[in-house]
Structure 1
Amino acid sequence: MDVNWQADLDRWLAPFVAALRHKTRARMCPAYIAGLIGPGDRKSIQPMATRAGEVNYDQLHHFVTAGVWDSASLEAALLKKADGLVGDEAGFLVFDDTALPKKGSHSVGVAPQYASSLGKTANCQSLVSVTLASHEVPVMVCLRLFLPESWIDDRERMARAGVPKDRQTALTKPEIAIAEIDRVIASGARFGCVLADSGYGSSGTFRQALSERGLLWAVGLSRRQNVYPADVALIFPVAKAGKRRKYHIPDQPPVAAEAMLAKGKWRRVSWRRGTKGRLTCLFAARRVRVADGHKHRMLDNRVQCMPGDEVWLVGERRSTGEQKYYVSNLPADASLKMLVATIKARWVCEQAHQQLKEELGLDHFEGRSWTGLHRHALMTMIAYAFLQSRRLKAAGEKKNRGTAATAEHAGRQASHPRPLRAASTPAMPAL
Structure 2
Amino acid sequence: MVVDEGWRLDLERWLEPFLTGLSHPARRRMCPLYIAGLIGPGDRKSVQPMAARSGDVGYDQLHHFVAAGVWDSVPLEAALLKEADRLVGDPAGFLVIDDTALPKKGQHSVGVAPQYASSLGKTSNCQSLVSVTLASREVPVMIGLRLFLPESWTGNAERMTRARVPLDRQKALTKPEIGIEEIDRVIASGVRFGCVLADAGYGSSGPFRQALSERGLLWAVGLSRRQNVYPADIGLVFPVAAKGRRRQYHMPDRPPVSAEAMLSGEKWRKISWRRGIKGRLTCLFAARRVRIAEGHKHRMLDNRMQCMPGDEVWLVGERRSTGEQKYYVSNLPVDATLKALAAAIKARWICEQAHQQLKEELGLDHFEGRSWTGLHRHALMTMIAYAFLQSRRLTAAGRKKKSRGPAATAEHAGHQAGDPQPLRPATATALPSL
Q: How does 1:250-261 map to 2 (within 5 A)?
A: 250-261=252-263
Aligned match of 1:73: 75
Aligned match of 1:83: 85
Q: How does 1:13-412 map to 2 (within 5 A)?
A: 13-405=15-407, 407=409, 409-412=411-414
Deviation at 1:300, TM superposition (A): 2.4
Q: 2:416, 2:112 → 1: CA distance?
A: 32
Aligned match of 1:429: 432
Aligned match of 1:417: 421
Is the partner of 2:374 in helix, strand or coil? Answer: helix
Is residue 276–residue 414 contact of structure 2 (8 Å, CA) maintained in 1? no
Is residue 391–residue 413 contact of structure 1 (8 Å, CA) maintained in 2? no
Q: 2:106, 2:414 → 1: CA distance?
A: 39
Deviation at 1:46, TM superposition (A): 0.3
Moved more, 137-146 or 396-405: 396-405
Return the TM-score normalized by structure 1: 0.97
After superposition, the Cα gap between the structure-2 partners of 1:2 and 1:258, relative to the gap in structure 1 and judged at 3 Å, is farther
Is residue 41–residue 425 contact of structure 2 (8 Å, CA) maintained in 1? no
Is residue 287–residue 317 contact of structure 2 (8 Å, CA) maintained in 1? yes
Is the partner of 1:351 in helix, strand or coil? Answer: helix
After superposition, the Cα gap between the structure-2 partners of 1:95 and 1:406, relative to the gap in structure 1 and judged at 3 Å, is farther
Number of residue pairs matched by the alignment: 430
Q: 1:237, 1:184 → 2: CA distance?
A: 47
Deviation at 1:274, TM superposition (A): 2.1
Q: Deviations over 1:285-316 (max 9, x none)?
A: 01000011111222322211111110000011
Q: Deviations over 1:242-279 (max 9, x none)?
A: 22211111111100100101111111111122232221
Q: 1:226, 1:176 → 2: CA distance?
A: 25
Is the partner of 2:267 in helix, strand or coil? Answer: coil
After TM superposition, the runs of 4+ consecutive aligned structure 1 residues lying more than 6 A away are none
Deviation at 1:54, TM superposition (A): 1.1
Q: 1:7, 1:352 → 2: CA distance?
A: 24
Q: 1:230, 1:139 → 2: CA distance?
A: 37
Is the partner of 1:308 in helix, strand or coil? Answer: strand
Q: Deviations over 1:300-336 (max 9, x none)?
A: 2221111111000001111111110000000111111
Q: 1:418, 1:133 → 2: CA distance?
A: 18
After superposition, the Cα gap between the structure-2 partners of 1:411 and 1:29, relative to the gap in structure 1 and judged at 3 Å, is farther
Is the partner of 2:225 in helix, strand or coil? Answer: coil
Deviation at 1:217, TM superposition (A): 0.2
Q: 1:97, 1:239 → 2: CA distance?
A: 49
Q: 1:161, 1:88 → 2: CA distance?
A: 38
Is the partner of 2:353 in helix, strand or coil? Answer: helix
Is residue 25–residue 63 contact of structure 1 (8 Å, CA) maintained in 2? yes
Is the partner of 1:20 in helix, strand or coil? Answer: coil
Deviation at 1:406, TM superposition (A): 5.2
Q: 1:9, 1:259 → 2: CA distance?
A: 54
Q: 1:242, 1:14 → 2: CA distance?
A: 74
Q: CA RMSD in A?
A: 1.5
After superposition, the Cα gap between the structure-2 partners of 1:382 and 1:369, relative to the gap in structure 1 and judged at 3 Å, is same
After superposition, the Cα gap between the structure-2 partners of 1:423 and 1:101, relative to the gap in structure 1 and judged at 3 Å, is closer
Identity %: 77
After superposition, the Cα gap between the structure-2 partners of 1:210 and 1:2, relative to the gap in structure 1 and judged at 3 Å, is farther
Q: 2:330, 2:308 → 1: CA distance?
A: 18
In structure 1, stretches of 5+ residues that fail to align are none
Is the partner of 2:355 in helix, strand or coil? Answer: helix
Q: 2:141, 2:428 → 1: CA distance?
A: 29
Deviation at 1:424, TM superposition (A): 5.7
Is the partner of 2:270 in helix, strand or coil? Answer: strand
Is residue 125–residue 145 contact of structure 1 (8 Å, CA) maintained in 2? yes
Q: 1:122, 1:306 → 2: CA distance?
A: 37
Q: 1:310, 1:44 → 2: CA distance?
A: 49
Is residue 425–residue 433 contact of structure 2 (8 Å, CA) maintained in 1? no
Deviation at 1:161, TM superposition (A): 0.6
Deviation at 1:430, TM superposition (A): 2.5
Q: Deviations over 1:14-62 (max 9, x none)?
A: 1110011111100000000000001111100001001111111111100
Q: Which amino acid aligns with 2:350?
A: V
Deviation at 1:421, TM superposition (A): 5.0
Q: 2:431, 2:304 → 1: CA distance?
A: 62
Q: 1:166, 1:406 → 2: CA distance?
A: 49
Deviation at 1:422, TM superposition (A): 4.6
